[in-house]
Amino acid sequence: MDVFAPLLAAPFSLLGSPVTWLELAAFVLALWMVLANMRVQLIAWPLAIVSSLAYLLLFAHSKLYGEASLQILFVIVAGWGWWQWKFGRQADGAALRVRRIDARGGLAVIAATFAAWPLLGFALDRFTDSDVPYFDALPTAGSIAGQWLLGRKYVENWPVWLGVNIVSVTLFAYKGLWLTVVLYALFAVLSVVGWRAWNQRARTS
């Protein structure tokens, strides 16, 4: 972390906790990314890569190892999502469009998420010094599901992100990452807006 010490300097405090340059940069990039996702703009994916790298450093510094590890996965999945939005195809061979997942697929995503949660929590508890292993693991598992749904342009990514964002607000408040709390509260609101916008796109397409 010594290399990144300038980024970890705090130009101001929020509710008694320091806000670093790194958290501020990650905030701006992540907000821009979500707005681009709402508009189905391809630039969302490179923004996801850069903001995930910023949050990787921030969460590792805060000992949120589940969230930090998730950012590595986000970088990989963002590359996949970028390719999917540009070249991906549906089962019928048509280019990806905004659409709803079927009931079977939705249940599979829910089952996989709740199966992954305790496994991730156990891993964090066993192999790291995290003080909130299972709390950290829940939004981590949900975010994996949300990223997959988003990459395949399923409307249901938005309610998943809504749940992830609500849990994350509490988690980051506990850690005193107040600017990130504000960001994820905004994300929760934007998840509802995005859900409505993508529902409209699904109907018209």
Picking from 174, 172, 182, 186, the residue whose alpha carbon sits closest to that of residue 139 is: 172
Cα distances from 120 to residues 76, 97, 106, 142, 167, in angstroms, run: 18, 32, 21, 11, 16
Cα distances from 34 to residues 57, 94, 110, 147, in angstroms, run: 20, 25, 22, 12
Q: What is the pLDDT of residues 180-203, one digit of tens each?
A: 898 899 999 999 999 999 999 999
Q: Can you tell me which residue has the tokens 């066993």? A: 126
Q: What is the pLDDT of residues 24-45, one digit of tens each?
A: 898 899 999 999 999 999 999 9
Picking from 191, 102, 203, the residue whose alpha carbon sits closest to that of residue 152 is: 102
Instruction: Show me where the domains of the chain are located.
Output: 42-204
Residue 20: the pLDDT is: 83
Q: What angle do CA 33, 39, 40 make, to 5 degrees?
A: 85
pTM of the model: 0.83
